[in-house]
Amino acid sequence: MRHPSAVVLGLFGLTILVRASAAGPCSQAIIASQTKIDARIEAIAGSGRSSKEGLAATMHRQPTPQSVVAEEIRLGEGAKLQAALDALARARQAEEGENKESCEKALIEAEAALVQ
């Protein structure tokens, strides 16, 4: 019998291949921007104040970038990161609509939010 995590990893890999084959006009830029935002979130979360462990953490659930940013905002440190994630979401929507200009504009906004 296959291990459940092997099946999940296989499905994840298949999803990546399907998404790559259906990539929109700025998908590579979105991936690069997501990588930068994730790195910034991790750096800020690792260097800032900490808070009490939440219930989800005790249930062996991994945090998402959005949940980390939400906690950073609660601690007064993540507003810029939320702006970057919001801009990245707009870029993804524009990409789905194959609107390269709007996608590029949203990516510029995401990058700008990281340096403010």
Two structure tokens written together for 99: 């609107």
Is pLDDT at 21 greater than 60 in this prediction?
A: no
pLDDT digits (tens, 9 = 90+) for 46-100: 665 555 666 665 666 676 766 766 776 676 666 778 888 889 999 999 999 999 9
Q: Which stretches of 1-116 are DSSP H helices? A: 4-21, 27-47, 55-58, 65-74, 79-96, 100-115
Select the more confidently predicted residue: 113 or 5: 113
pLDDT digits (tens, 9 = 90+) for 31-51: 999 999 888 878 876 665 555
Q: Whole-structure pTM over 0.75, yes or no?
A: no
What are the boundaries of each domain within the chain?
26-115
Which residues, 6 or more positions from 45, have their beta carbon under 8 angstroms from its beta carbon?
A: 68, 71, 72
